[in-house]
Chains A and B, each alone.
Chain A
Amino acid sequence: MHTNMAEPMELLCWGGDWDLPSVHTDSLIVLAYAKFSGANLAVKSIDWTWRTITASVPQLHYEGTTVTEPTQILNYLRKQRFNADYELTAKQGADTMAYIALLEEKLRPALLHTFWVDAENYANLTRPWFTSHSPFPLNFFVPGRQASLALSRILLTKAESPLLNITEVEGKIYSEAKECLNLLSHRLGNFHFFFGDTLDAFVFGHIAPLIKAPLPSGQLQKHLNQLDNLCQFCNTILKNYFTDASAEKRMDCSPTATHDPVDANLQKLTQLVNKESNLIEKMDDNLRSSPQHRPHRHETKPSALASARNSTPS
């Protein structure tokens, strides 16, 4: 159904690191969806080219047309008959749209803040990475431009207009993001995947960088690591779709399917948690003494379910 192409479709995206095919959320979404639906994409990374500042990434080129923005690209792929959502009911299609809106509104501001606005992460992780992956002399401009775009997006959408002060908004966006992660964890439950590939792709694109990046100060990452089923979801996708190229190894959504706990990943996660436990003092006073603790009540449910299912790692 998807052969006989004159030339393969070309995707421009940021390069990969930390076990991920790409470090950029939107690029990951498209890459994941392409793997799920079996589309053959020629992936071209824009690292070390002038496109780091000129192109809006991700970008799909095919037969003269250019499509940007993950939603548009996914629509385009569907029109080209790479549709992985055939068996979705109408209600699930509607639910997909709703959950994607939830991700964009609640989780993305906190992701932007974690990577681009939080001073420690930005100085120690994000800026060096993007600087080292951009050609001279763009490496002076690219990270700064992305950071200011991220900051303005957060302030314009989340900050209430007289204030426009990032510290006021920080507590709010992190608590909303933790709530969003809890909601996703509830929805995923014991299954290995969400319903429908589009939602899987979007959730994967948002949480994979958060799980895998070695963030110096990552309270959101800590929270996410406690939600076992989301971490399993992410690692499963990485293992099945991005380490070996066989798409037919996709597991069924059976709650009792056994799986090997990926020891290497678990060790890395444990190391991350240990590293971050030393940085707990950096957390905001507000967050510690606030009704923030409410989300922890929900947390015990998914991890209790997950721990009953997990075999203990050796």
Chain B
Amino acid sequence: MSLAAEAFVSQIAAAEPWPENATLYQPLKEDQILLSDSASSLAVQTFLRMCGLPVQVSCRSNAEYMSPSGKVPFIHVGNQVVSELGPIVQFTKAKGHSLSDGLDDVQRAEMKAYMELVNNMLLTAELYIQWCDDYTATEISRPRYSSPYSWPLSHILAYQKQWEVRRKMNAIGWSGKNLEQVYEDVSQCCQALSQRLGTQPYFFNKQPTELDALVFGHLFTILTTQLTNDELAEKVKSYTNLLSFCHRIEQTYFKEHDRESQSGSSRHSKGSLP
């Protein structure tokens, strides 16, 4: 959206309180959703739970096309539609709910820097593994992405998405990397996060912020998703404070919904943490 439109929307947003029927849309959980989208969606859900805002999760096969920016997840609140964690954080802030108000300027700078680190490294690595690694792309990503559609549309859409992602990887210089280097980058990113977290319960003081939601979303999804091999999960598991961080947030914010949201024997998700 252009900046003027954004200002207009946030003014409207501030006028109404959070409704009861807010909905979050994501691709189909059992068959369609991929690792990166699942991570982003979980991050948004965690953030909204941390703010204490109720939201219903609705799975649609065309969620990506409904979204205003083409990216999932997006939330439908009142008569506005907002996608991606950054704009959603701003939107909830306009409505008066914010997790990072208690931070001073330097801490806010750090929080934004770490959120960029997660987006830059973890999300890009997830996209790379899903779409640029031929084996994973053929076995998992393309079949899952195109599962709601029949041939030949499925064929076309899957290859189109793969081409798009590969183009982006090319532009940012990741196409020259091999899988080992990507795993190494993930490991370094987790090391940085682990060092920043230290022994604290959350990244900043004792209160969770959107950074905690984002990190939880990505790490939990990596740990509970079955890919062609377990190397990615192993890299994350080697940092024990990150594991206990994930456990803690799962227990605090998702415990009461655990039984309801447990998916059946789906090949993709393993359910709760090992």
Which residues in A have some Cβ–Cβ distance to B below 8 Å?
Answer: 69, 90-91, 93-95, 97-99, 101-102, 104-106, 152-153, 156-157, 160-162, 168, 171-172, 175, 183-184, 186-187, 189, 286-287, 289-292, 298, 301
Q: A101-B120, A105-B116 are in contact. Are A290 and B7 (CB under 8 A)?
A: yes
Whether A105 lies near B106 (C-beta < 8 A) is: no
Q: Which residues on the B side are within 8 Å of A291 (C-beta)?
A: 3, 6-7, 10
Whether A94 lies near B193 (C-beta < 8 A) is: yes
Whether A161 lies near B70 (C-beta < 8 A) is: yes
Residue of B nearest to A154 (CB): B171
Partner of B196, one of A95, A106, A187: A95
Nearest-CB distance from A206 to chain B (Å)? 14
Whether A69 lies near B3 (C-beta < 8 A) is: no
Nearest first, the 3 A-B pairs at minimum CB distance are A290-B3, A94-B192, A183-B109
Residue of B nearest to A68 (CB): B176
Q: Which residues on the A side are within 8 Å of B114 (C-beta)?
A: 98
**Complex: A312 Cα to B246 Cα, angstroms:** 53
**Complex: A99 Cα to B120 Cα, angstroms:** 11
Q: Which residues on the A side are within 8 Å of B15 (C-beta)?
A: none
Q: Which residues on the B side are within 8 Å of A298 (C-beta)?
A: 105
B162 touches A (CB below 8 Å): no
**Complex: A93 Cα to B120 Cα, angstroms:** 17
Residue of A nearest to B193 (CB): A94
**Complex: A292 Cα to B121 Cα, angstroms:** 28
Whether B70 lies near A172 (C-beta < 8 A) is: no
Q: A97-B188, A104-B120, A290-B7 are in contact. Are A69 and B195 (CB under 8 A)?
A: no
Whether B113 lies near A171 (C-beta < 8 A) is: no
Residue of B nearest to A94 (CB): B192
Whether B196 lies near A101 (C-beta < 8 A) is: no
Whether B168 lies near A94 (C-beta < 8 A) is: no
Q: Which residues on the B side are within 8 Å of A95 (C-beta)?
A: 110, 113, 196
**Complex: A301 Cα to B173 Cα, angstroms:** 37
Whether A91 lies near B198 (C-beta < 8 A) is: yes
Whether A97 lies near B192 (C-beta < 8 A) is: yes
- B interface, by DSSP: helix, strand, loop or mixed? helix
B 178-203 to A, binary, CB cutoff 8 A, 1 in contact else 0? 00000000001101110110100000
Q: Can you offer 12 A-B residue contacts whose CB atoms are under 8 A? A: A69-B173, A98-B114, A98-B116, A101-B121, A102-B113, A156-B167, A156-B172, A183-B113, A186-B109, A189-B106, A290-B4, A291-B7
Q: Which residues on the B side are within 8 Å of A157 (C-beta)?
A: 168, 171-172
Most chain A C-beta atoms within 10 Å of own C-beta, residue among B121, B173, B192: B192
B112 touches A (CB below 8 Å): yes
Which B residues from 128 to 156 make CB contacts under 8 A with A?
none
Nearest-CB distance from B111 to chain A (Å)? 9
Q: Which residues on the B side are within 8 Å of A98 (C-beta)?
A: 110, 113-114, 116-117, 192, 196
Q: Which residues on the A side are within 8 Å of B68 (C-beta)?
A: 160
Partner of A99, one of B70, B113, B121, B164: B113
Q: Which residues on the B side are within 8 Å of A171 (C-beta)?
A: 2-3
Residue of B nearest to A287 (CB): B3
Partner of B4, one of A156, A289, A301: A289
Q: Which residues on the B side are within 8 Å of A156 (C-beta)?
A: 167-168, 171-172
Q: A105-B119, A286-B2, A291-B3 are in contact. Are A160 and B69 (CB under 8 A)?
A: yes
Partner of A292, one of B3, B10, B113: B3
Nearest-CB distance from B13 to chain A (Å)? 13
Nearest-CB distance from B12 to chain A (Å)? 14
Most chain B C-beta atoms within 10 Å of own C-beta, residue among A94, A102, A187, A292: A94
Nearest-CB distance from A184 to chain B (Å)? 7
**Complex: A106 Cα to B120 Cα, angstroms:** 11
**Complex: A90 Cα to B188 Cα, angstroms:** 12
Nearest-CB distance from A165 to chain B (Å)? 11
**Complex: A102 Cα to B120 Cα, angstroms:** 9
**Complex: A168 Cα to B6 Cα, angstroms:** 12
Whether B191 lies near A94 (C-beta < 8 A) is: yes
Residue of B nearest to A189 (CB): B106
Q: Which residues on the A side are within 8 Å of B120 (C-beta)?
A: 101, 104-105
**Complex: A50 Cα to B189 Cα, angstroms:** 38
Nearest-CB distance from A178 to chain B (Å)? 12
Taking A291-B3, A291-B6, A292-B3 as given, write out 20 further A-B residue pairs in contact, using a Cβ cutoff of 8 Å, ordered by the A residue number: A91-B195, A93-B192, A93-B195, A95-B110, A101-B116, A101-B117, A101-B120, A106-B116, A156-B167, A157-B168, A160-B68, A160-B69, A160-B71, A161-B69, A162-B70, A183-B108, A183-B109, A187-B110, A289-B4, A290-B7
**Complex: A52 Cα to B115 Cα, angstroms:** 36
**Complex: A187 Cα to B107 Cα, angstroms:** 9
Partner of B189, one of A97, A168, A172, A189: A97
Whether A184 lies near B109 (C-beta < 8 A) is: yes
Q: Which residues on the A side are within 8 Å of B168 (C-beta)?
A: 156-157
Residue of B nearest to A169 (CB): B2
**Complex: A290 Cα to B5 Cα, angstroms:** 9
Q: Which residues on the B side are within 8 Å of A160 (C-beta)?
A: 68-71
**Complex: A298 Cα to B110 Cα, angstroms:** 16
**Complex: A175 Cα to B171 Cα, angstroms:** 22
